[in-house]
């Protein structure tokens, strides 16, 4: 227990920087989902990114230079994010809702992991690609949606 509170083990700066970066990268994704009135939004997405980043950071001291051990931690996060995302998917009559939110949650977890692993380039690209998909492809989806709704009514 004495090692836990040893000042030499308490270097909060890099952790704060990474957690804040993960938070800020997830914010525009959460803002989009909130604006679209989805089941997860402005609070959920930054928390997912911070949690995934935090899990990796917390595990780093335990796994050390064992890539297989870190891979198992990441596998657990991938599975957990899939489970959380699954909760955002709903079947409503003849359609399925929430798949974009579920996928966005999964990507947001990957953003947190990438930040924690110091792959900021990957984290930024994931954020940009998600942003482009959610913001720029939404009008295209709305153009296609009425046709899909009419087809469902015919069945």
Confidence at 4, pLDDT banded by 50, 70, 90: low
Please report, for the chain, how many H helices and E strands are present, in that order: 6, 2
What is the model's pTM? 0.82
Range name among 55-59, 77-81, 123-127, 136-140 with the lowest pLDDT average: 136-140
Break the chain into its structural domains and give their ranges: 7-154
Confidence at 22, pLDDT banded by 50, 70, 90: very high
Query: What is the distance between the alpha carbons of residues 100 and 97, in angstroms, rounded to a whole number?
Result: 8
Confidence at 69, pLDDT banded by 50, 70, 90: very high
Amino acid 147: pLDDT:
56
Confidence at 91, pLDDT banded by 50, 70, 90: confident
Amino acid 1: pLDDT:
53
Query: What is the distance between the alpha carbons of residues 61 and 82, in angstroms, rounded to a whole number?
Result: 26
Q: Dmax of the chain from CA atoms?
A: 70
Mean of all residue pLDDT scores within the chain? 85
Tens-place pLDDT, residues 98-148: 788 889 999 999 999 999 999 999 999 999 999 999 888 877 777 776 655
Residue 65 structure tokens? 């230079």
């Amino acid at each position: 227990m004495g090692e836990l509170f040893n000042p030499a083990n308490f270097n909060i700066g890099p952790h704060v920087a990474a957690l804040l970066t993960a938070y800020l990268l997830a914010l525009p994704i959460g803002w989009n989902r909130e604006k679209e009135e989805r089941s997860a939004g402005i609070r959920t997405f930054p928390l997912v990114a911070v949690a995934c980043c935090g899990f990796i950071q917390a595990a780093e001291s335990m796994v050390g230079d064992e890539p297989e051990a870190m891979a198992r931690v990441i596998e657990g996060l991938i599975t957990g994010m899939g489970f959380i995302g699954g909760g955002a998917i709903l079947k409503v009559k003849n359609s399925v809702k929430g798949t974009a939110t579920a996928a966005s949650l999964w990507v947001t977890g990957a953003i947190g992991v990438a930040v924690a692993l110091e792959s900021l380039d990957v984290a930024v690209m994931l954020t940009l690609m998600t942003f482009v998909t959610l913001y720029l492809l939404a009008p295209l989806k709305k153009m296609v949606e009425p046709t899909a709704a009419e087809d469902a009514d015919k069945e």
